[in-house]
Amino acid sequence: MIKNIRHFGIVTRDINKSLQFYQKYLGFTLSKKTEEKGDYISKVLGISGADIITVKLSVKGGDVLIELIQFIHPHDRSENRVKINGIGPTHIAFTVDDIKSLYYELSGSNVEFISEPELSSNGDAIVAFCRDPDGTFIEFVELI
């Protein structure tokens, strides 16, 4: 039986660029940075010769981590942009205090949004989606 959600893993092309995005714009704190290679990680991932860098990020008051992962080997350069209506995991959602300020700050830094913040159909939240540097959808929700 599941006891807790531990973390969400996001594969990135450039871990430093993604780390900057999640720290600077979203307020995450670096908890741990690790390079893993060898038999263990190759077996666990089912990828021969796996060599990865991971960073674990936390947010104050939260107990679920974001894990950014960069594959040093094998390096996949394919462009696999998830569609918001695609099958499988499509986005990560974060509750925020001031969605409009966050929207203007991120938009001013050329972060791609689907739309401006919109009032939810039931009127209890303001919602907006953007993409991180690798195209992962991020949903911001301000509860009213």
Run means of pLDDT, 10 residues per run, the chain, 144 residues = 87 96 96 95 94 96 92 82 82 96 97 96 96 94 96
Residue 144: what pLDDT?
Answer: 95
Residue 83: what pLDDT?
Answer: 85
CA atoms within 13 A on the CB side of 28: 21
Question: Is there a common fold for 7-73 and 91-143?
Answer: yes
Residue 85: what pLDDT?
Answer: 83
Residue 2: what pLDDT?
Answer: 74
Residue 63: what pLDDT?
Answer: 86
C-alpha to C-alpha distance for 101 and 140, rounded to whole angstroms: 12
Query: Strand, coil or helix: what is 104?
Result: helix
Tokens representing 144 are 């009213």
- Pairing mode, strands 137-143 and 125-131: antiparallel
Name the residue among 20, 18, 29, 21 with its Cα closest to residue 69: 18
Every domain of the chain and the residues it spans = 7-73, 91-143
CATH class of 91-143: alpha beta
Fold for 7-73, please state it.
2,3-Dihydroxybiphenyl 1,2-Dioxygenase; domain 1 (3.10.180)
Cβ atoms < 10 Å from Cβ of 3: 5
